Structure 1
């Protein structure tokens, strides 16, 4: 393995050779292209060149592919590969910052492991919720979801009932761990096909994550779960700065090297680690609580309550924003669970309303109403959040989104007061790393699990035999799901197709549901449907 100094020396020698390199544009002449490719190949994979020195095709490979081949041949860590890419970038080569972007690593929810066998990944959610307003009874269910399921069906694994959260988290997770170990090693069979099961990630909010971790809470001075930065206490609030400290690692967590960050006499993490769970990288920051109910709600409240530094929103400006929200109502598609509401009802807004605001309506409602610096700061959050939410392109936009988030955090104390730079604002700096390791934002969001939690609470009709009521309902629900068929088209009384329904969208002839974007990039307004519902007729927008 070469040292960083040796890498720099090789690159310097290469750059001083007889060819000209421009960022993003090769100006190497055809006569010396093979020679240059050979030199680059010698830097990237010296052993490979010795074996394939007469392979002309290999000599003409781009630098990106040669680095990828080198990484596949040698068992170097991803951190080492990232450092090498940084050296190349510092010398003027146009390469991505991350090895995952260079190697185009994609996660497959279903992967064959043997003839007649398949490998299933699960997302696991752990959270608590109060059951009644009249007493302290609360539910702590363990929920699961198959990765890649377009229907987003959430199933119940187990439920704890008590007046507070389970005291011993090891006992709480004991049966789950034993069952997951069996499913991972032995699997199960359906229709003669063998399935093995593993966990992709745990989707938890900050309090639940600290509970399962066995660590201090998020409001502690060293409460950040992704880096070792230490905050300060100001008016009973832990304040962090706008920079990222040394990141926490799975290995250091396993060896308990973070001192008082780990709570004593708690072995929950040891239990999860016995089934191969990585306690840092497999616990991504949950975006619903972090962004929607955290940062976006904080920004709106600060705007309305005058907690900004250099301006205060006037009543007529608040009314103008509310009027714009209400004017959007007739045009909000049915895919949105809730329609926009006035700012007067901000305290009653749900998480989906804050998400709708930051991703869709806010960029229009705030324009020319709030000061330019506030609007610019909001646009940074809007754009970065949007880039990380698109499944098809999020990997290509990680660097841009990271820069936007850093700039957003840097400007945050200048627009708001410093005491608002709390855990959620600081943790936003780690969001792109979670996206890089886990997938696009919606793939580890808690929204499907929150819907299931609300459904479990509805199953309870009286305060006696609560767990029995939930069990009986969940058992019947499983059979209903197996019998249920997804409606793909909607018919009127004359048996004419008037709409198309899928698990992810609805199209019909109503003004709010008739606009769509084709894969070619063309936006159309639907005028009618074909007899089978598979053909659309419309006009270009």
Structure 2
């Protein structure tokens, strides 16, 4: 169903445009009559009752007083019969056949101050409704109050007109064997953010694929193909979306539209009048999604590792991958194409992703540390310490668990606003999100676990913590080889402390994690965190159980009509004069507490700590990682440039 306007609105706005055409269109008509130009299509044959020397278009507009009067004599108004939006009626090539932007610019110039105010109010209401995900019923109620009580008569009564919502019937939905698929388009997403992001000549795209359950009472789920323009990870957009009672039966059929579009982008395309080259830089998936897309064995398979040819062992009713002193043989793209290791594949047909020019199918899929380390290894360690899953030698008594929980509670006031969550008790450990586990691994863990867990377990944990801090820092690349050795030591020692039968697929994959740093840099550049954050946005687009895919498509179309608000997430940190957001390290090496700042001059004022010491010295001095114990705050207030702030 098209967009509707009242007859009064149509008459008033079309009158303005036709007055403009009254001066210009007739000249075009007369000139083109002599030369038989295609512009003759602009106006229908002149009726006998109108003078030939001048076409008074305002008389035709007056006929709109009677809705029954046909205005089909003029092609300019043909789209009104379908209740199309004013923008498409007045300026599109379908209605004017003029094909120039002059009419649009003229229309904008002709808007009076009152009309601009009306348009601004409409835009603000639409942006509020879309960004706040307000239901249509609620918006309709607000519109009626504003229209009839606040006398804002220019507002529509139906939010679908305000939001430019399309018809209930979403076109171009592809029916698959087990569900439905809609392709939003990679280029469409890039163009949408082209005015917000600074695009290089070479645009690199990160892609994420995963399943999203949308109901607790059924198996219905979304399988989105998401992407963002690197490094602008805060602007995630959908490329395609599948909905069904199960995941797509054939992964190649699921990816076919995506592959077709990517192959069409092999040559450079024009965005904002500039030639751009687009390449797929990385795929970020968890292990089940990766095995589904690549059509290979899952994490419980004997030959499931995507980076090497190690064969798993079946010990104590589980598949494990004990550390091999003899080294490992790495997989490569050619081996995948030729299916050299048949035990690695689950289908005689390989993934259609190999059709992408220049792709290295083995290394383009990152070892996502969100699933691998945070939800995998860190969660596994906690379960071994807190439950009966691990050996009795590492299990913690209840009083030690309570001590750790008390320490976490005390640290709440020390957690800056850069973190999305505050620490909470270990009794909620089964509910911990990936961000909480990441915080425990990198920040709070070395503090709360000290002198509580055994020395062997603590030093073993510190090995992982230090290695991950190196891999998640862009300025510690000089320690990358050391981080690789630390991860190798962690895997080797893991089977000594917890048992070789507990060396799972995730634990083994740590041996390959440093390779991703060599290829992508900081592991945050190739993680699934941005895509996981966008999943809740997709879920919020669903307002009822019926036709969830169509709902998401319509909500996204509404979102595309709203101006994108530039995010401030690109800032490395926030600073304040209030604790705990007032402590920083500066380039001179001092740790300071900010007492005041002046943004206009770019200066900060504060006091520095006189004494600094390492928190730990094994496996690496913590000062090398920017982790220090400080005390003895000076009395004198000094001044620094904001640009001198190095870390928080």
**TM-score of the pair, normalised by structure 2:** 0.61
Separation (CA, whole Å) in 2 of partners of 1:317 and 1:167 = 48
Aligned to 1:224: 305
Separation (CA, whole Å) in 1 of partners of 2:603 and 2:258 = 47
Pairs within 5 Å for 1:158-173: 158-173=240-255
Pairs within 5 Å for 1:82-481: 118-149=201-232, 152-190=234-272, 192-243=273-324, 244-267=327-350, 269-306=351-388, 307-308=390-391, 310-394=393-477, 396-480=478-562
SS in 2 for 1:506: coil
- Aligned partners of 2:255 and 2:352 also within 8 Å: no
Q: Per-residue CA shift, 1:160-195, capped at 9, x if unaligned?
A: 0011110111111111111112223242321x2121
Residue 479 (structure 1) shift: 4.4
- Aligned partners of 2:323 and 2:491 also within 8 Å: yes
Residue 502 (structure 1) shift: 5.6
- Stretches of structure 2 lacking an aligned partner (at least 5 in a row): 1-198, 610-648
Residue 309 (structure 1) shift: 5.0
Matched, 1:527 2:595: yes
Matched, 1:512 2:595: no
Separation (CA, whole Å) in 2 of partners of 1:188 and 1:203 = 27
Aligned to 1:95: none
SS in 2 for 1:313: coil
Pairs within 5 Å for 1:490-509: 503-509=571-577
Residue 260 (structure 1) shift: 2.2
Which of 588, 607, 614 pairs up with 1:539? 607
- Stretches of structure 1 lacking an aligned partner (at least 5 in a row): 1-115, 488-500
**Please, what is the CA RMSD of the aligned residues?**
1.9
Separation (CA, whole Å) in 1 of partners of 2:380 and 2:554 = 40
SS in 1 for 2:224: strand
Residue 235 (structure 1) shift: 4.1
- Aligned partners of 2:212 and 2:223 also within 8 Å: yes
Separation (CA, whole Å) in 2 of partners of 1:117 and 1:296 = 37
**TM-score of the pair, normalised by structure 1:** 0.72
Q: Per-residue CA shift, 1:190-234, capped at 9, x if unaligned?
A: 1x2121210001111101111111111121011111111111123
- Aligned partners of 1:304 and 1:318 also within 8 Å: yes
- Aligned partners of 1:117 and 1:194 also within 8 Å: no
Q: Per-residue CA shift, 1:253-284, capped at 9, x if unaligned?
A: 122111121222334x2443343321101112
Separation (CA, whole Å) in 2 of partners of 1:523 and 1:183 = 49
- Aligned partners of 2:227 and 2:238 also within 8 Å: yes
Separation (CA, whole Å) in 1 of partners of 2:244 and 2:353 = 22
Separation (CA, whole Å) in 2 of partners of 1:523 and 1:208 = 44
SS in 2 for 1:223: coil
Separation (CA, whole Å) in 1 of partners of 2:586 and 2:550 = 48
- Aligned partners of 2:442 and 2:465 also within 8 Å: yes
- Aligned partners of 1:156 and 1:474 also within 8 Å: no
Separation (CA, whole Å) in 2 of partners of 1:502 and 1:222 = 40
Q: Per-residue CA shift, 1:33-92, capped at 9, x if unaligned?
A: xxxxxxxxxxxxxxxxxxxxxxxxxxxxxxxxxxxxxxxxxxxxxxxxxxxxxxxxxxxx
Residue 118 (structure 1) shift: 1.0
Residue 391 (structure 1) shift: 1.0
- Which stretch has the larger CA shift, 256-265 or 118-127? 256-265
- Which stretch has the larger CA shift, 333-342 or 231-240? 231-240
Residue 533 (structure 1) shift: 7.4
* Greater gyration radius: 2
Separation (CA, whole Å) in 2 of partners of 1:507 and 1:248 = 46
Separation (CA, whole Å) in 2 of partners of 1:427 and 1:206 = 11
- Aligned partners of 2:315 and 2:501 also within 8 Å: yes
